[in-house]
């Protein structure tokens, strides 16, 4: 026979693990956030290896290899700079992905001199008073010193 005191121990003992399971664990504070930051994946490695700062985007404009600079690469976007950067490059190639062929990429390309758009029109935003440059598909547009007589930094690319 169970006494009232024994029943209380059984009930409390049975419920204690449930209470303990509901207690927050301090390690939970270190779980990754589910909030999307749109930071460019591998940006630190790209900066170190290629001298290019990629900040954020929607994942539809991606850095790709320019070697060899062929029609497959030129189908999308090529950005040209006045001088070679720390990695010895003076142009960068980007591929547009996704079904809608829309995309956005925030980046930082000093001394930009032009953008070559392939199959898709591109809007290239540079710092300074000149505003965005709209590059129709299959067209090259000069920017910065190549067009405005002053240096410019490319800050964003947008397609669609």
What confidence tens digit (pLDDT) does each residue in 41-61 have? Answer: 788 888 888 888 999 999 999
Question: Encoding tokens for residue 94?
Answer: 């980007």
In CATH, what number is assigned to the domain containing residue 129?
2.60.20.30
* pLDDT value of residue 15: 47
Residues 93/78, Cβ–Cβ less than 8 Å: yes
Q: Is residue 66 in some structural domain? A: yes
Beta bridge partners, 44, equal none
Q: What is the pTM of this model?
A: 0.71
Q: Is residue 145 in some structural domain? A: yes
* pLDDT value of residue 138: 93
Beta bridge partners, 113, equal none
Within 10 A of 1 (CB to CB), how many other CB atoms are there?
3
Q: Is residue 108 in some structural domain? A: yes
Strand, helix or coil at 131? coil
Q: Is residue 138 in some structural domain? A: yes
Which CA distances in Å does 73 have to 44, 128, 142?
Answer: 23, 29, 19
**Number of independent structural domains in the chain:** 1
Beta bridge partners, 80, equal 91, 114
Spatial separation of the C-alpha atoms in residues 22 and 17, rounded to whole Å = 9
Residues 123/160, Cβ–Cβ less than 8 Å: no
Is pLDDT of 5 > 60? Answer: no
Q: Is residue 151 in some structural domain? A: yes
- Sheet containing 53-57: order of strands: 53-57, 103-109, 154-159, 122-126, 132-135
Instruction: Please give the residue range of the domain that contains residue 71.
Output: 43-159
Q: Is residue 1 in some structural domain? A: no
């Amino acid at each position: 026979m169970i006494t009232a005191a024994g029943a209380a121990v059984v009930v409390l003992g049975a419920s204690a693990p449930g209470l303990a399971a509901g207690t927050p664990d301090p390690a939970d504070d270190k779980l990754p956030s589910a909030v999307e930051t749109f930071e460019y994946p591998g940006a630190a490695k790209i900066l170190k290896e290629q001298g290019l700062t990629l900040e954020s985007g929607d994942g539809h404009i991606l850095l790709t290899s320019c070697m060899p600079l062929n029609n497959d690469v030129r189908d999308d976007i090529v950005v040209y700079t006045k001088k070679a950067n720390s990695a010895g490059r003076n142009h960068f190639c980007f591929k547009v992905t996704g079904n809608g062929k829309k995309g956005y990429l925030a980046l930082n390309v000093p001394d930009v001199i032009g953008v070559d758009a392939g199959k898709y029109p591109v809007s290239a935003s540079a710092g300074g008073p000149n505003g965005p440059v709209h590059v129709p598909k299959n067209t090259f547009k000069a920017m910065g010193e190549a067009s405005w007589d002053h240096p410019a930094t490319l800050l964003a690319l947008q397609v669609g």
